[in-house]
Structure formats: C-alpha cells, structure tokens
Amino acid sequence: MNFDFTPVWDNIPTLIEGTGYTLLIALFAAILSLVGGLVVSLTTLYGKKIFSYPLRFFIWLFMGTPLLLQLYLLYFGLGQVGILIPALLTGILGLGIHYMAYNADIFRATIQSIEKGQTEAARSLGFGRMQTLWFFIVPQAVFRALPQLGNNMIIMLKDTSVLSVIGVTELVLNAQFEIANTFRPFEFYISIAVIYYMLNLVMETSLNRFEKKLENRR
Amino acid sequence: MDFALMWEITPLLLKAAWITVTISVMAFILGLAVAILLVIMRSASFRIIRWPSRIYVSVIRGTPFFVQLLIFYYGGAAFGINLEAYTAGLLAIGLNIGAYMSEGIRGSILAVDKGQNEASRSLGFSRTQTMISVILPQAAGLMIRSLGVLGVIVIKGSSLVSIISVVELTYQSQRIISSTYKPFEVFAVSAALYLILIYGVISIVDWLYDRYTRHLHH
C-alpha cells in the first residue's frame, strides 16, 4: 500500500477547472430539463393528440432506458444526421433531455394534484383557459413540485460524471487526463469523490433549508 | 431503417441483456444484505455501531456511482487488489444500492404508527417479535415500493459497468454502433430490451404491492 497525494495537489488547477465545467453543465442541463419538463408535461396534459402522444412516448422511453444508452444515441446519432456540435453541448443536451422526462413526470403529477375548484373558480371569474393555466394552476403546481425537482437536480449533478464517457471535459475526464500522466488512479478518484461529496452536501443543505422555508409559508 | 441489421444483432443483444439481468439480480441481493446490516447497525444502542452506518450511507449517497465504480476497478491496485471487471461492477452496484435500500427500509419501518409498537410491547411481545409480526407486515407495502424503484435504478445503473468493459447490454450496443454506424437501429433494439426489463420489474412490483396492501383497501 503506497499512497501519494502530491500529484493531486500539483494538479489541483485541472480539478478546479473540471469542477467549474461540472457546475456549468449541471446549471444549463437543469434549466433545459426544468423548462422543457414543464412544457412537455403541459403538452401531454392539455395539448392536441399529435403533440401529446409522441411526448408521452418520449417520457415513457426516456424513463425506461439508461442515461448512458441515450447519450450514445445522441453522440452517434447527431453525427449520423450530419449535426456536429461540441461535446460540451451534446452533454448538456443529453443530460437535460434525460431529466426533462423525469421532471415532466413530476410536473404532470403535481398539476393533476391541484384541486378542480381552482380551475372552476378562475374560469367563473372570467379568465380564459390559457390564463387559468398560466396564472393559477402552473404556479401552484411548480410550487408543490419544488422539493422533488430539487432532489432530481441533486441526482443530476452526480450524473454529470457519466458525460466523461462521451468526451465532455468535466471533473472525471480532467481527473482521468491527469491519471494518464501520473498513474495515480486511486488518489485522483478519491479526491474527486471528495469534491462531489462537498458539492452534494452544499446542494442538500440548501434544499433542506429551502424546504423548511416552504413549510413555514404554508 | 435497416431492419435486416436489427434482426441480425438481436441474438447478440439478447445474450448481452442476459448479463444485464444476472448482474442486476446479484447486485440487488447483495444490496439487500448490505441494507439489512446497515439498518440493524443503525438501530443499535451504541454510537460506535450507529455512526459507521450513517457515514457509509452519507458517503455513498453523496458521491456519483460512476466515480465509485472507477475507484473499485482502478483504485484497487493501490491496495494490491485487482478485481475482475464483472466482480468489480457487481460489488460497486451492490454496495451502492445497499445504502439507498437501507434508507428505504428504515423509512418504511419509521412510517408505521408508533402506537403499534407500544401496543405490541405492552401485550408482552418482545422487541424482535414486535418487529417481525407487527411492524414489518405493516411496513411491507411501502418497502416493496421503495425497493422496486431501486430495482429499476439497479438495471439502469448496470449500464455503467460497460465502461469497465463488462459485456452487458449497453457495452454490446455501443460496440455494434461504432462498428456499423447505425445508432438508431441499434438503439431501437437495445431500448426495447431495456424497456421490457424495466417495465417488467415495475409491473411485478405493482402486483406485489397490491397483494401486500390488499387488507388496506377492500
């Protein structure tokens, strides 16, 4: 047994850069998955059949297959149809679309959980169908969905690590780059595990605090 | 769509899907064993036994499974241990999911009304007897649900062991895609296999749930 963490310490800038990319990817994928998830759930619930059925199929397909397989489809599939985009963008798209399906499922459940009386009251006050949806149903549904969405985003932050497989330079790939130079896999992987743990801790504590605040508001 | 290719690769992918099934089933069983141990440790009266269990769960849940897998496979060398890919993958999934399972099991036990425990104890049942014949049967419904969700996560997560070159469904799909450049055809077949596995597990879980909660809704 011999450990040597000095190579890790010497290459800390690479790991910091990787952490930056990981956070950036998580942020953009989160925005994509949340906005997209809401749009998808609204379409499956209220849209015309030609839109709602394919989107239902999308949710079913993407919740029933592994992220990695979807990433391969996107990575090779985009090239196949002649779309060449940077790996970083492919990664954000892949992760964002995967979690879009999960978020859409959450939104669908919370939208359906809003009492019918809300719609009836808004409609009888003269609001249109779209207005009712936008000003009464969606805000309440989003509010109810927040804890679950937060949990999903925490899981997503950890899943950004998988993107290294399709060549996205984030924390894992940056570590692997240095491992190739230093031959210290254990030390590097343990170090990035610590970084992920800290990121996760920050997100979990803030989500818990946020949830407490929400409870107090009720 | 190249249907001839899809027909041709189906036997190969079926064989690979069988590896996905076996590694998932074994990892699930290993996970259950780990989880039961963790739950028992967590309920011990001594802090020295309780804390390792809490730390284990926190570390496993706070770091990406993918990084844990890499540590298992590439990090072992630092201790002079070189695990075979299949063994490393199996251990990594089992030890990971065990932490989540222990939370699921604990959660469903804690969800049973406290009065049940008090009533049973005051009728003269011992702690163990109360647990086995009063608490666990009532916790079964919730427990089946949460373990079922984790079973699905195991199947999806097993796709990541393709990275350490275990020849399971995702590994085989990726290999065929990169040799045929037909991502959509290959995805269609392997997605179908994953969907059968995953929605199959979900239906079994739903059936079990109904069976064990029949007494709750006549």
The alpha carbon of residue A72 is apart from the nearest alpha carbon of chain B, in Å, by: 7
Residue A160 sits in a domain of what CATH number?
Answer: 1.10.3720.10
| Arithmetic mean of pLDDT over chain A | 94
- Alpha helical stretches, state H, chain B: 3-42, 47-62, 65-74, 85-110, 114-122, 127-130, 136-157, 169-180, 183-212
Q: Is B80 left (phi over 0), alpha (psi -120 to 50) or beta?
A: left
Q: What DSSP character marks residue B45?
A: S
Q: What is the pLDDT of residue A196?
A: 98
Alpha-carbon span B205 to A92, nearest angstrom: 33
| CATH entry, B3-216, from 3.40.50.10420, 1.20.210.10, 3.40.1190.10, 1.10.3720.10 | 1.10.3720.10
Q: What is the pLDDT of residue A165?
A: 96
Q: What is the pLDDT of residue A1?
A: 64
Residues in chain B: 218
Q: Judge contact between A78 and A167, C-beta under 8 A.
A: no
The answer on pLDDT for A69 being more than 60 is yes
Write down the residue that tokens 């210290």 correspond to. Answer: A184
Contact B126/A at CB under 8 A: no
Of residues A60, A68, A204, nearest to B170 (C-beta): A68
The answer on pLDDT for A12 being more than 80 is yes
Q: Above pLDDT 70, what percent of chain A?
A: 99
Q: Judge contact between A168 and A90, C-beta under 8 A.
A: yes
Domains of chain B, residue spans: 3-216
Of residues A2, A65, A187, nearest to B195 (C-beta): A65
Whether B80 and A1 lie within 8 Å, measured CB to CB: yes
Contact A192/B at CB under 8 A: yes
Q: Judge contact between B140 and B126, C-beta under 8 A.
A: no
Residues of chain B with pLDDT under 70: 217-218
pLDDT digits (tens, 9 = 90+) for A139-153: 999 999 999 999 999
Q: What is the pLDDT of residue B55?
A: 97
Does A95 reside within a domain? yes
Contact B96/A at CB under 8 A: no
Mutate to test the interface with A, among B66, B83, B100, B176 (most CBs of A within 10 A): B66
The answer on pLDDT for A215 being more than 90 is no
Q: Judge contact between B155 and B29, C-beta under 8 A.
A: no
Whether B62 and A77 lie within 8 Å, measured CB to CB: no
DSSP A94-108: HHHHHHHHHHHHHHH
Q: Judge contact between A70 and A62, C-beta under 8 A.
A: yes
Does A1 reside within a domain? no
Q: What is the pLDDT of residue B78?
A: 82
Alpha-carbon span B159 to B217, nearest angstrom: 38
Residue A183, both tokens:
């031959």
Q: Judge contact between A96 and A81, C-beta under 8 A.
A: no
Buried b (16+ CB within 10 A) or exposed e, A41-69: bbbbbeeeeeebeebbebbebbbbbbbbb
What total number of domains does chain A contain? 1
Does A63 reside within a domain? yes
Whether B74 and A200 lie within 8 Å, measured CB to CB: no
Residue B191, both tokens:
């997605």
The candidate with the shortest Cα–Cα distance to A91, out of A148, A21, A34, is: A21
pLDDT digits (tens, 9 = 90+) for B61-117: 999 999 999 999 999 888 888 899 999 999 999 999 999 999 999 999 999 988 999
CA dihedral B18, B159, A89, B188 (to 10 degrees): 10
pLDDT digits (tens, 9 = 90+) for A82-99: 898 999 999 999 999 999
Whether B78 and A2 lie within 8 Å, measured CB to CB: yes
Q: What is the pLDDT of residue A181?
A: 93
